[in-house]
Structure 1
Amino acid sequence: MLDEVIGFNVRSVLVIGIGGGGDVVGSTITYSLAINEGKEAILGAVLWERYVNDVVPGPIRIQELRNADALGDYLAIVNGDTYAVREGRHVIPQIANVLSVIKDDGLGISIAGPVSSVAKELSDYVSKYGIDAVIGIDVGGDVLALGNEDGLYSPLADSYSVAILSRVQDTTNVPVILGVAGPGVDGELDRDYVLMRISQLAGKGAFLGAYGPTRNDLMILEDILSKAITEASGLVFKAARGHHGNVGIRGSTRYVRLDVSSSITYYLDLKKAISDLPLANLIINAKDPWDAMRILNSRGVMTELNFEEEVYRYYRAKSRIPSPEEAYSMIKEIKSKLRAQVQLMNR
């Protein structure tokens, strides 16, 4: 199937969870597909954990990793024993939890630097190791956001990664596929809205196919979920096991509608989709995620980095992370302030 999705017979593929945190868990469905079809597959992930696992704002830097082999400033070979030390705290990236189950090494990607610099290292890696195709997986579908959606609050890692992958494709001419696993399962963009965006991109010839997990995929995923910290990818599994109806996420501060279709991964041709991904295009020349945050904020778009910095201030003041209800209130307040700032600028 992957050969049909990519468009030619591939020998090796790099599968990357592009949104940080638990996206790498949902990415294992595509990774398993590649392995089962006899491909040489490498599992990668953007190293950026959610605040419940890492209270320090922003992505993990390569220099913060332990039990990993740095390949440069932004890439490292990681394994099941890899962890990061951030302000004295030990943080286990979700890719390490995944690799401890599948018993393999993987690629950790730090997006702490300029889009151009991360893309250069990743392009060199793709060329050096003869990667035939790159597949970036976003769980939930925020990567398809336009920026003005009410529920959107964490588009930065996805969009930054897409900007990087777009440059990799231009540099290497290796096909880059954008996968959306479990539309709407992260509780931000509504499932029907994500499917509508996929349909719009299909109208531009970007849709390449879709894949649902097999029983064997789900057995592996169940083992991974016993170790990994993720809600959204867990709902992909739950949907495949037959859950139908609404389910709470983020401490039941929002709800996701699930059925078996919520377990599907949809594949898009990034080259044909990129012109309709405005957030990635806005930050294509960003110097780092903080620079990207400022660019997106200037358009009234909130990011997870805004939220993480607010959570960190709260943590420093109260020595605990906020409850889900407090976190949700923070998100609403940040979004409200950004809208007010943009309205003031446009007067």
Structure 2
Amino acid sequence: MTRLIVAAGGGGDAVAAAMLHAAQYGDEDQAVILTYAWDRLLVDPVPGPRSAHDFTGLETVTRSVRSVPATARPIAPAGSTLPRLASELPQTFALLDPQHGVEGVTNQLEELIAHLTPESIDLLDVGGDILARGDEPTLKSPLADALTLAACCRVDAPVRLLVAGPGLDGELSADDLRSLLGPVVHTFTAEDVAPISSVLEWHPSEATGMLAATARGVRGICEVRDAGLPVPLTEASPQLHEVDLDKALSHNALARAIMVTTTLDEVEAHSREICGFSEIVYERNKATWLKDQPPVALDTEAVLRQLAQFESEAHARGVTHTTFRHLTEVLNLNGSQRSDLRQLLLSSHPEQYATPLWRIPDAT
């Protein structure tokens, strides 16, 4: 049997989809994970999502759907985590292309469903921003989730909407989401994390990283993103909820507005109107700013000194953990240095590694 899992926001949602597949369906069923190639500026210096034209070596699945094998490569200067995911995980990763708006994504879904005749179709979002109204002041990245939600509501097939780790993306809090969530269908455990453990060693997703950490028992307050948002890690964090698809659509104003869009520009325009911003514009502006920043060498002594100061201040704020993405930003390093920073810290303070998070030590 084949399972189709749509990773609502791309990036870390694709990794979580692999964990969902192993936890819910086991090794006997095959899975196709349909996902955006949208890894943000830490991995991909080009703003916005990638399309099939940004890769070499893709494989044809249907007229408009391409899979990303381990041998595929993004065309420079673009970057993507998908080929490496394909090399390390057993699932098939297929490329969601938003360039033709909801109409295009709907066509991709319909073609893939007709081709695969899947036993089940799941739409997975880590964190829950797929349930946003659109006007929440903490909302940062509604576009991709709204687009996949709208497309899934248009296909003539049963789709199960799942939200993992309510509040873990640092956009909507678990309290904000509680009234919208349906029943808990699973609580992830350390055993469920095992199939993606190698990926967690290098993948930059913060939300899926926190989901995995809480499944392993980590609790506390994790500081994330460039803004240093505090995200609670609680007993509810590793839970997987089913949500009524129609209820989600009725709540998500952006998803309703873009139902008949045929271009990504149209989707962006609706995002600016309803949410007050476009995350792609934010990425464009940040990419321009990053280009103007002089390269900073990773000076071991300076990094460890700055780290100690950050940890002292974070502990005073009640923070217990952070991500390597946030540490990279705090220490004024660029995304390409995240792996080097991680290796430095693991070699100097291995006891603080709460895979894949970094534990803030108690004040001394």
TM-score over 0.5 for the pair: yes
The alpha-carbon distance between structure 1 residues 264 and 209, as it changes in their structure 2 partners (threshold 3 A), is: closer
1:291 corresponding residue in structure 2: 266
1:92 aligns with 2:80: yes
Report SS of the residue matched to 2:98.
coil
**2:127 — aligned with what?**
140
Task: Kindly indicate whether the alpha-carbon contact (under 8 Å) linking 2:18 and 2:196 is maintained by their aligned counterparts in 1.
Answer: yes
Per-residue deviation, 1:300: 4.2
Amino acid at match of 1:56: V
Counterpart code for 1:248: E
How far apart are the structure 2 equivalents of 1:62 and 1:41? 21
In the alignment, which residue of structure 2 is the partner of 1:22? 12
Task: Give SS of 1:81's match.
Answer: coil
Secondary structure, aligned partner of 1:48: coil
1:150 aligns with 2:137: yes
Structure 1 vs Structure 2 CA RMSD: 2.6
Q: Would you say 1:160 and 2:160 are equivalent positions?
A: no
Residues of 2 paired with 1:225 and 1:109: CA distance?
A: 22
**How far apart in 1 are the matches of 2:30 and 2:109?**
18
Partner of 1:266: helix, strand, or coil?
strand
Contact 1:13 1:132 in 2 (8 A): yes
Relative to structure 1, is the Cα distance of residues 259 and 96 closer, same or farther in structure 2, using a 3 angstrom cutoff? farther
Report the Cα distance in structure 2 between the residues aligned to 1:44 and 1:320, rounded to whole angstroms.
36
| Alpha-carbon distance in structure 2 between the residues aligned to 1:90 and 1:156 | 20
Q: Does 1:194 align with 2:177?
A: yes
How far apart in 2 are the matches of 1:43 and 1:155?
20
Percent sequence identity over aligned pairs? 25
Counterpart of 1:343?
Answer: none
Structure 2, unpaired ranges of 5+: 297-325, 333-364
From 217, 220, 231, the equivalent of 2:195 is 220
- When normalised by structure 2's length, the TM-score is 0.75
Q: Highest Rg: 1 or 2?
A: 2
Q: Residue 317 of structure 1: CA displacement?
A: 4.0
Stretch of structure 1 that moved more, 308-317 or 226-235: 308-317
User: Residue 319 and residue 91 in structure 1: after superposition, are their counterparts in 2 closer, same or farther (change >3 A)?
Assistant: farther
Match of 1:195, SS state, is helix
Distance 1:309 1:74, change over 3 A: farther
Distance 1:72 1:145, change over 3 A: same
Determine the C-alpha separation between the residues in 2 that align with 1:261 and 1:221: 21
Deviation at 1:280, TM superposition (A): 0.5
Corresponding residue number in structure 2 for 1:303:
278
Contact map agreement 1:13 1:34 (CA 8 A) in 2:
no
- Give 1:231's match in structure 2, choosing from 187, 206, 229: 206
**Contact between 1:31 and 1:43, CA under 8 Å: does it hold in 2?**
no
Distance 1:260 1:221 in 2: 21
What's the secondary structure of 2:137's corresponding residue? coil
Q: Normalising by the residue count of structure 1, what TM-score does the alignment of the two structures yield?
A: 0.79
Asked if the contact 1:247/1:257 (under 8 Å) is kept, the reply is: yes
Q: What residue number does 2:73 align with?
A: 83
Contact 1:242–1:259 under 8 Å retained in 2: no
Residue segments in structure 1 that go unaligned for 5+ positions in a row: 1-10, 199-206, 328-347
